[in-house]
């Protein structure tokens, strides 16, 4: 079946611009996660959605980052006023339930010039 999809696959933007990254989870998966993988930093957790519960935003690095999940399916991660240190690969994952295997999408490679 279809896996997690993300768009765009690559995004180049100028410092100060806003960007939106999209994630389509596996159909039926109730939990959705965003992670960021920066060069030399490894993967770090950003935000978690489970069903209709309030999201866990504890991993978001600043208030320039926000995410929403509409209809319990598609999620959008928004970064406002991008900075060069935001350059990274943003990975989305989904799972059936909070404690089951997480399946990752191919990621969006963001470059801020």
Give me the least distance between CB of 16 and other proteins, in Å please.
27
Site for other proteins (CB under 8 A): which residue of 75, 105, 108, 110? 105
- Which residues inside 27-46 make contact with other proteins, applying CB under 8 A? 31, 33, 35, 40-45
The set of residues, in sequence order, having a beta carbon less than 8 Å from that of 44 and lying 6+ positions away, is 35, 36, 37, 38, 59
CA-wise closest residue to 19 among 76, 101, 96, 97: 76
Give me the least distance between CB of 112 and other proteins, in Å please.
19
Q: Report d(CA 110, CA 7) in Å as an integer.
A: 11
Question: Closer CB to other proteins, residue 15 or residue 95?
Answer: 95
């Amino acid at each position: 079946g279809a896996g997690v999809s993300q768009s765009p696959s690559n995004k180049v933007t100028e410092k100060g611009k806003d960007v939106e990254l999209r994630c389509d989870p596996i159909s039926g998966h109730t939990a959705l996660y965003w992670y960021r993988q920066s060069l030399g930093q490894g993967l770090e957790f950003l935000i978690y959605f489970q069903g209709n519960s309030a999201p866990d935003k504890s991993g978001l690095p600043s208030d320039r980052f926000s995410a929403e999940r509409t209809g319990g399916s598609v999620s959008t991660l928004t970064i406002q006023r991008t900075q060069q240190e935001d350059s990274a690969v943003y990975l989305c994952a989904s799972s059936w339930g909070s404690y089951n295997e997480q399946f990752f999408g191919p990621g969006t490679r963001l470059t801020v010039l």
